[in-house]
Amino acid sequence: MTETLAWLVSLALFAVPMTGTPGPNNVMLTASGALYGYRRTLPHIFGILCGGIVLFTALALGLGLVFQRFPMLQLGLKLVGSLYLLYLAWKIARAAPPDFAARNDSKPLTFGQAALFQFINPKVWVMGMALVAGFMPSDGNIVINAFLLALLVEVIAFPCISVWAGFGMAIGRTLRTPRAWRIFNITMGVMTAGCVVFILR
């Protein structure tokens, strides 16, 4: 029992800074929280969590070895991911303020879009590799262990990433003019586009 508790504490100490620090997901959640509020950002949040569960489980079951053997596949994924991230950055930068959102049909990221984005998010890949290397149990059913490990991490991640959406919502309440909103959206768009550097390095 003591050993299990120590393992859970160690896992939490790993997951909190990995999921709670700045990265593509949290930058986009901040922008979404500001533009649409927390409730409308929930599909984005749950997409991140479910996509992470699938990716981490796959990594624990050997997906990382596939990329080691076929590096061109990983390069292709990076290029696709970079283009998609630039597209999202453009959407964020040109999003209208909430009062005018209907004019450009601005919508928050969907559950499916957020889930798929985890497969091209470099921070999530790094986290997944470190997670599997450091916390994957060596005994028991590998499939069950992989899924439970991924599930536990995402349960810990939920409040961590929710904070960023809440932070964005708080910022949104302080932006009183269309000009302030444009500056905020462009800033968030540039920060999102800047994440491409970490994908292609």
Indicate the pLDDT class of residue 110, thresholds 50, 70 and 90.
Answer: very high
pLDDT score at 47: 97
pLDDT score at 121: 84
* pLDDT tens figures, 45-58: 999 999 999 999 99
In a domain, 12, yes or no: no
Which tokens belong to 12? 């939490």
- Average pLDDT value over all residues in the chain: 83
* pLDDT tens figures, 176-190: 777 877 888 888 778
In a domain, 2, yes or no: no
Angle at 42 between CA 41 and CA 43, to 5 degrees: 95
Indicate the pLDDT class of residue 131, thresholds 50, 70 and 90.
Answer: confident
In a domain, 119, yes or no: yes
pLDDT score at 148: 93
Q: How many domains does the chain have?
A: 1
pTM of the prediction?
A: 0.80
- Cα 92 off chain centre by: 15
Instruction: Indicate the SS3 state at residue 104.
Output: helix
In the chain, % helix, strand, coil (3-state, to 5) comes to 85, 0, 15
- With a CB cutoff of 8 Å and minimum separation 6, the contacts of 38 are 162, 165, 166, 169
In a domain, 14, yes or no: no
Single-letter amino acid code for the residue at 67: F
In a domain, 1, yes or no: no
In a domain, 53, yes or no: yes
Stretch 52-68: mean pLDDT, rounded? Answer: 83
pLDDT higher than 50, residue 130: yes
Residue with the bigger pLDDT between 155 and 76: it is 155
In a domain, 5, yes or no: no
* pLDDT tens figures, 151-173: 999 999 999 999 999 999 998 88
Indicate the pLDDT class of residue 103, thresholds 50, 70 and 90.
Answer: very low
pLDDT score at 154: 96
In a domain, 70, yes or no: yes
pLDDT more than 90, % of the chain: 30
pLDDT score at 201: 61
C-alpha Rg value of the chain to the nearest Å: 18
Domain that holds residue 93: 25-200
